[in-house]
Amino acid sequence: MPLRTAPLPRMAGHLSFMRSVRAKVEDLSSGTLAVIGVPMEGSKNLKSGARFSPLSIRETSVYFGWYANPQFSNPINIDEHEVFDTSSINERLFDLGDIPILGQTKLKAEELINHSIAQIYNRNATSIVLGGDSSIISPVCRGIANGKSAAYIQIGGKTPGTSNIKLDHQSSAPLCSLLASGEVKLEDTCILAPAENPSVEFLKELSGVGAKIFSSSQLKDMNSKEIADLSLTLSNRELPVIVNLDLSSVSSELHGMSEQPIFNGMSLKLLRQVLVALASAPIATLILTGHNPTINGLSVVKTGQRLIVTALVGYLCSRLGLMNDFNSNEN
């Protein structure tokens, strides 16, 4: 049988995230980063489609394959004529595939998510969870917290009207259920670029416990060190840090794939700066939610997905300690 020595076509073979190595949980160890998909959604209306997010992100990430695939050349800082050796990422970035929740009841699906995320965390590996809608946040956090408490950084998404679940029992904000279950405490919470203006009562509650909240406009005026201090402060409390990146944080004119569109959100440059800075702390997991690749036209969706993967590439390289100089030069 003839063997191919030239690089594979972009879409040939199994489409893992950035052409990374397919692996099992047993292959993970400290210092590795696992990508895992959770094709789950609670919506049954015309806006359903978030379950296709893991597949679409993986397909788009193939265009960024040179970071992980030795068949492609290393990235180059054109200004400095410097080649960045990212070959070590082949031994540290793994794709675990999707959690098999298709056809399961909601309770069983959450149990599978909880168990899978806990296994990754117990191997001292960090993870990127490709959602899915916001219904995956609670079982993922439960797998990390393991009956204790975790720190929570929310980027975009809804905010509760109040942290008191008895007064806001109909809230659809994931943070509300996390606070009610005790998996997250309000003082260990940080909210960045929320998709809607928080209520005055919730702002008072955040201020009362010293929790931080910043709009996208405020983030623009912050430098990378100030943003990094947000995650470092939480990690210094000896709590696992969970980051939820909801696509509603990004200006809708850049992608059009969010069911909660906003037009004063973050730019790609700002999002990448935020993710790279936050990754300087030991993040337990990054959860991607709010991405529905079926909402808008193909060209807009493809452009938006490339923007997302570009930001994720910056995050994972920063989290793995690669290309620090490159990231600082871009910022």
Residue 192: per-residue pLDDT:
96
Residue 77: per-residue pLDDT:
47
Q: Write the CA distances from 162 to 74, 172, 200, 233, integer angstroms.
A: 48, 12, 9, 24
Single pTM value for the model: 0.86
Residue 325: per-residue pLDDT:
42
Tell me the β-bridge partners of 72. Answer: none
Residues 6 or more apart in contact with residue 117 via CB below 8 angstroms: 36, 127, 129, 139, 140, 143, 144, 285
Give the β-pairing of 76-77 and 82-83: antiparallel
pLDDT digits (tens, 9 = 90+) for 70-121: 444 555 444 555 555 666 777 889 999 999 998 889 899 999 999 999 999 9
Residue 117: per-residue pLDDT:
97
Residue 164: per-residue pLDDT:
64
Residue 67: per-residue pLDDT:
45
Residue 324: per-residue pLDDT:
52
Considering only CA atoms, which of 228, 11, 33 is closest in space to residue 130? 33
Task: At 282, list the tokens.
Answer: 């030991």
Residue 18: per-residue pLDDT:
84
Asked whether 319 and 280 are in contact (CB, 8 A), the reply is no
Spans in the chain with pLDDT lower than 70: 1-13, 43-47, 65-87, 163-171, 253-263, 296-303, 323-331
- DSSP string of 132-173, one letter each residue: -SGGGHHHHHHHHHTTS-EEEEEESS---S-S-TTTSTT---
Helix %, strand %, coil % of the chain (to 5):
40, 15, 40
Residue 244: per-residue pLDDT:
96
- Residue 74 has, within 13 A of its CA and on its CB side, a CA count of 15
Residue 11: per-residue pLDDT:
62
User: Rounded to an integer, what distance in angstroms lies between the CA atom of residue 283 and that of residue 33?
Assistant: 11
Tell me the β-bridge partners of 189. Answer: 152
Domains present along the chain, CATH in parentheses: 19-320 (3.40.800.10)
Q: Write the CA distances from 28 to 18, 21, 92, integer angstroms.
A: 18, 12, 8
Phi, psi torsion values for 211, nearest 5 degrees: -75, 155
* End-to-end CA separation in angstroms for the chain: 48
Considering only CA atoms, which of 330, 314, 237 is closest in space to residue 278? 314
Asked whether 67 and 86 are in contact (CB, 8 A), the reply is yes
